[in-house]
């Protein structure tokens, strides 16, 4: 049958096999990333250190830098201590501990290329070690510059999705609706959305992956708020399914939005996912309140994107 | 009716709802950005500091850097003063003010990793503080490098639009016309334009958003000057509207041009908007004067892009 | 004949002429790059130093930096020695060798802008030489920063391809199949594949280049594992060819995959090639084992992508 | 007439008006850039300094850096001299000239953040001036880093075009042909070409701009050598024109090639132009010699791309 073939094709187009059903495993995380752990590869084969560094939370990166800075200085202080504190001019020679501390500070002045010079290398071994440390400092600093630039220049979209996804009468039929808005001050243009769905197939006990048709899938601006609508007509895989069906079949919705970030002229991507529990039946989103500010701007309360009204059953 | 349906779809495609009409609020700024203020979000949720830093005017950025430099040095001078000036060798110890000034300069020599060394940390507390300041200096410098690079490598188009948008007989019908040229010495290739319009719908008191058809919407080069024409035929929303109608309906035109900047091989975007007051009826643009320079170049006076002739009414 | 015309066109579309057959020369390397050496150009015309620096293995780059650092310091130490060690204050003046070593370390402290200052330039010639070396140091460091950033921010896909390419009954016909998965922790979206083939034409003794049709050539996610299938129907150039034919005709398959790296929002490309010896007849890939981890993730053993079962001949 | 309309449309699509004919002015430079000088704008409106810095020849950039370095040091030496050499410790105080030279070197040690410290600021005025110079040094260095990175990471294609463009019998009709190859060691994939033409219209004395149809306009790889063919059939604007006609009409051909640079995964553009004098009638390109190297590579002599054979007139 045509419908069946089409579904199979759609399923394949999502890049998952059909045998992937695992009870109690959410397929997509809330942020739309795939909830998969790859095994059977070495650490370095699996992890790309640059991608880790630019995606890791800020506090982790700075902790990493500070701990690294202390550790490297500690190691070089140790090396200088092994070379012998007497090879360094200007050092407080009163006791090993003091010497070590002095060498620790000397190391920090070397790796940052600060080089006050009140402490300085006297012997050849000390000269070689400081020449190495200062080069290492420059290279680390070059890498840090690159990572920090990579982080904040990284193209990203910061979108706010409505907490719930609603099913309600829409024009003559029924529609599946959610809303999305841009949280940031920069503008997004040429936005495109694609919505996919996964649910357990009760007949085959496999997980099916399907694309959902959308009323409008591309807009020129993401200026105020965009309501994305999937019409639940006969060709929709959601046709005549109840909330209970969705629960039982472990329904997950995955959203992928692509747009152009106007400030940096680059493509950005945003993903999000809804689970069966996020569905609300017979509800309509409240219009987003808009008013003029005193200096002639249109004020939009984006945090009210989540609000909806339950419709009275007829 | 088909036309109506099509208009609704176009409206949606611009990413605005239809309920967004606010009297006396201009929707697009002159530079084509959306005149919207997003509320209901925390400051950090709304503002992306990197995007601010690369889009802010140059003098603001440099003021920000200089004020930051002075402030940080002031804070570290204070910290060093609290630690005690006697912990620093080579300092002019005559009076607290002199000491503070000396420590301020010492701080500037530390944060820039200059490190003359005529002043230097003697105690452990001083050693720790300077080790921190030099690291902070390097990190700030890494960020500054990234921001400056992000600013000047930011893909952008610097286009000049004619001050007015003209309505005049065009071939057998009437056309809406404006001109655009590239102000910079670098070249733009594969240029595409889309033109949208918003006006108040007098029947529903909502603001409608519509795309305008263009005679040519893509050209290979933006070498000299591009006259963009919207034919005002029966399918045009401007059909049979007078200048007075446009005024009353708060007409706004929004232009989005995408091109490839040939020097950096990247997509660039330019936006612009016209209001009802920028329209001129029955006028034609003057041809742009072109002549050969002595060394065999074609000279084009781009600043004459705004000039037009009023047509005599027949 | 239509088929023939179509084949010629496809051939041309790959950018090779038809006269390029050379026995015993593999056309594509295992990693999908073209096995071509361009001659008749000067070194600088052929080599782009930046592209070399960002594509060279890591250990080569770091060897290059270290050797360069030592060489430049050696040269400047020589220059300083020629200028005369007596022009530098703070130098150990006991013998030429000691002086040279001292100047070598001084050079390293100058090029890194460390500048302890226990050695310093006294004469004008020494002042000029150190001013040059410190500028050179900054410029080299600027270039190093750029190269390191260019290296690790370089958009790339790290895909794992199945070792073999299988021919097996597929639905009602026969299919050519291979599998591919993403090795890294970052995600790839909007993946597209194109598969080309080259083999010797026994009639004309030329090398033909043809594109192969694929069942599905675009998927939304490359989440788990993607099995790419070329149906060997009557329109396929592989129709009714045996393994022996493929061997004799020096068959090579070239795969080009394009995807979006989700972390950096950029297009990435991966290439791979199979030779006739990589073909296995009448075999099917084993399903990739998937299980839930304790913290609710779907665990996939990607290294089992190569496994297949031989089908019993009927 | 349809043909005429189509030509007008094509003409417009190139972004030139039709009134732009100037005798003796070449429209495109040999490298395919437009031979236009924009006037009527201020210098800063027309010139983008970053685009200038990344496109300027290497020796100009380095001259610019060196002259800037000397000038800034000269200015700061002057400032320090005005402040008074007695405000700086460690300076050779024997005569104004010696003092100035000493301050010049001190400035270079400050702006590079080298800071030996054998010369150091003693007074507050000296402290302020050095604090400013070291900040200026860091900012200049940040900008230099960005410019150098922008230069060498700039996506570019380095293609070699055949010196001549040939007209010869091609299949059953006549074709216009030229060849192009990649000079660099990196690979270009997904190459696309578009060819435009401009010539004087003898009837209207205007310059017409037209696109030329191509037999194949997109190839997967630019591995060896690509022969681009425009069939001169009845729909071609070159149909039945002689070499003399082309000369008289100031014929210019403009080529734009877009490809993906595989090493950096970015789009690159190349342009080139031919004039009437570059045409050769009744000639065919020689096949590019290919042979296997000892280590099993296919060797291609790219510099023989220009060679062709004249065909005997029948």
Q: Which pLDDT does position A176 carry in this prediction? A: 93
* B232-288 pLDDT per residue, tens: 988 898 888 888 998 888 889 999 999 999 888 899 999 999 998 899 999 989 888
Per-residue confidence band for D222, with pLDDT thresholds at 50, 70 and 90: confident
Phi and psi of A242, rounded to 5°? -90, 170
Q: Which chains touch D (3 or more CB pairs under 8 A)?
A: A, B, C
Per-residue confidence band for C288, with pLDDT thresholds at 50, 70 and 90: confident
Residue from C10, C12, C13, C15 whose CB has the most chain D CBs within 10 Å, to mutate: C15
- Helices then strands, counting H and E runs in chain B, come out as 7, 17
Rounded to whole angstroms, the Cα distance separating C164 from C178 reads 7
Give me the helices (H) in chain A, please. Answer: 2-13, 43-46, 49-55, 58-83, 96-111, 124-152, 243-248
Rounded to whole angstroms, the Cα distance separating D134 from A113 reads 14
Count of other CB atoms within 10 angstroms of residue D21: 18
Q: Evaluate if residue C10 carries a pLDDT over 50.
A: no
Least confident segment among A124-133, C71-80, C290-299: C290-299
Interface check for C173 against chain D (CB to CB < 8 A): the answer is no
The whole-number average pLDDT for the span D87-113 is 92
Q: Which pLDDT does position C2 carry in this prediction? A: 32
Q: Evaluate if residue A20 carries a pLDDT over 70.
A: no
Rounded to whole angstroms, the Cα distance separating A297 from B9 reads 26
* B162-212 pLDDT per residue, tens: 999 999 887 778 899 999 999 988 889 889 999 988 888 877 777 778 889
CB-nearest partner of C185 from A46, A115, A266? A46
Q: Which pLDDT does position D63 carry in this prediction? A: 96
Within 126-145 of D, beta carbons closer than 8 Å to C belong to 141, 144-145
Q: Which pLDDT does position C24 carry in this prediction? A: 57
Are A149 and B146 in contact by the 8 Å Cβ rule? The answer is yes
* C11-68 pLDDT per residue, tens: 444 555 545 455 557 778 888 888 888 888 888 888 889 999 999 999 999 999 999 9
Rounded to whole angstroms, the Cα distance separating B276 from B247 reads 5
Q: Evaluate if residue D144 carries a pLDDT over 90.
A: yes
Helix (H) or strand (E) holding B190: strand B188-201
The whole-number average pLDDT for the span C205-209 is 77
Question: What are the structure tokens assigned to B143, written together?
Answer: 């960020």
Instruction: Tell me what the pLDDT averaged over chain D comes to.
Output: 86
* D30-53 pLDDT per residue, tens: 888 888 888 888 888 888 899 999
Per-residue confidence band for A1, with pLDDT thresholds at 50, 70 and 90: very low
Per-residue confidence band for A96, with pLDDT thresholds at 50, 70 and 90: very high
3-state secondary structure of A153: coil
Q: Evaluate if residue D8 carries a pLDDT over 60.
A: no
Rounded to whole angstroms, the Cα distance separating A253 from A211 reads 10
Q: Which pLDDT does position B312 carry in this prediction? A: 75
CB-nearest partner of B117 from C113, C117, C145? C117
Per-residue confidence band for A313, with pLDDT thresholds at 50, 70 and 90: low
* C183-200 pLDDT per residue, tens: 988 889 889 999 988 888
**β pairing state of D36-39 and B298-301:** parallel
Closest by CA position to D270, among listed D178, D159, D150, D154 = D159
Within 82-121 of C, beta carbons closer than 8 Å to D belong to 89, 110, 113-117, 120-121
Q: Evaluate if residue D70 carries a pLDDT over 60.
A: yes
Q: Evaluate if residue A2 carries a pLDDT over 70.
A: no
Closest by CA position to B114, among listed B141, B78, B85, B87 = B141
CB-nearest partner of A269 from C152, C216, C262? C262
Give C134's contacts in chain D (Cβ within 8 Å).
Answer: 108-109, 112, 114
Inter-chain contact D299–C269, Cβ cutoff 8 Å? no
- Nearest-10 Cα torsion for A260, A263, A266, A271: -50
Q: Which pLDDT does position D24 carry in this prediction? A: 57
Inter-chain contact C112–A134, Cβ cutoff 8 Å? yes
For residue D49, the distance in angstroms to the closest alpha carbon of chain A comes to: 18
CB-nearest partner of A117 from D113, D117, D145? D117
Q: Evaluate if residue B17 carries a pLDDT over 60.
A: no
* C122-138 pLDDT per residue, tens: 999 999 999 999 999 99
Rounded to whole angstroms, the Cα distance separating A253 from A277 reads 11
Count of other CB atoms within 10 angstroms of residue C238: 21
Inter-chain contact C115–D118, Cβ cutoff 8 Å? no
**Helix %, strand %, coil % of chain D (to 5):** 35, 30, 35
Q: Evaluate if residue D5 carries a pLDDT over 50.
A: no
For residue D117, the distance in angstroms to the closest alpha carbon of chain A comes to: 8
Q: Which pLDDT does position B10 carry in this prediction? A: 45
pLDDT above 90 coverage of chain A, percent = 49
pLDDT above 70 coverage of chain B, percent = 91
Q: Which pLDDT does position A5 carry in this prediction? A: 36
Rounded to whole angstroms, the Cα distance separating B180 from D280 reads 39
Residue from C90, C110, C117 whose CB has the most chain B CBs within 10 Å, to mutate: C117
Closest by CA position to D43, among listed B288, B188, B185, B163 = B185
Per-residue confidence band for D94, with pLDDT thresholds at 50, 70 and 90: confident
ipTM, 2 decimals?
0.87
The whole-number average pLDDT for the span D280-302 is 84
Q: Evaluate if residue D7 carries a pLDDT over 50.
A: no
Q: Which pLDDT does position C258 carry in this prediction? A: 93
Are B59 and B93 in contact by the 8 Å Cβ rule? The answer is no
């Amino acid at each position: 049958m045509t419908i069946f073939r089409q579904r199979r094709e759609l399923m394949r187009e999502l890049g998952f096999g059909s045998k992937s059903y695992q009870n109690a495993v959410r397929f997509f995380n809330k942020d739309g990333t795939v909830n998969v752990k790859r095994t059977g590869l070495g650490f370095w084969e699996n992890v790309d250190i640059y991608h880790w560094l630019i995606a890791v939370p800020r506090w982790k990166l700075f902790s990493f830098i500070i701990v690294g800075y202390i550790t490297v200085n500690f190691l070089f202080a140790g090396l200088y201590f092994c070379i012998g504190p007497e090879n360094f001019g200007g050092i407080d020679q009163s006791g090993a501990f003091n010497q070590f501390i002095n060498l620790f500070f000397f190391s920090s002045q070397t790796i940052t290329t600060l080089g006050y010079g009140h402490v300085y290398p006297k012997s050849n071994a000390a000269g070689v070690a400081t020449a190495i440390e200062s080069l290492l400092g420059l290279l680390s600093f070059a890498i840090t510059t690159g990572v920090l630039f990579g982080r904040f220049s990284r193209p990203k979209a910061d979108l706010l999705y409505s907490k719930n996804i609603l099913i309600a009468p829409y024009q003559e039929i029924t529609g599946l609706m959610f809303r999305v808005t841009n949280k940031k001050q920069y503008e997004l243009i040429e936005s495109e959305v694609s919505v996919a769905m996964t649910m357990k197939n009760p007949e085959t006990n496999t997980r099916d992956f399907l694309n959902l048709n959308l009323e409008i899938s591309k807009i020129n601006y993401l200026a105020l708020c965009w309501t994305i609508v999937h019409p639940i007509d006969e060709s929709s895989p959601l046709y005549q399914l109840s909330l209970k069906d969705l629960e039982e079949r472990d329904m997950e919705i995955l959203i992928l939005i692509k747009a152009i970030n106007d400030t940096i002229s680059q493509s950005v991507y945003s993903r999000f996912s809804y689970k069966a529990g996020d569905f609300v039946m017979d509800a309509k989103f409240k219009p987003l309140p808009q008013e003029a500010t005193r200096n002639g701007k249109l004020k939009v309360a984006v945090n009210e994107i989540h609000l909806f009204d339950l419709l009275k059953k007829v």
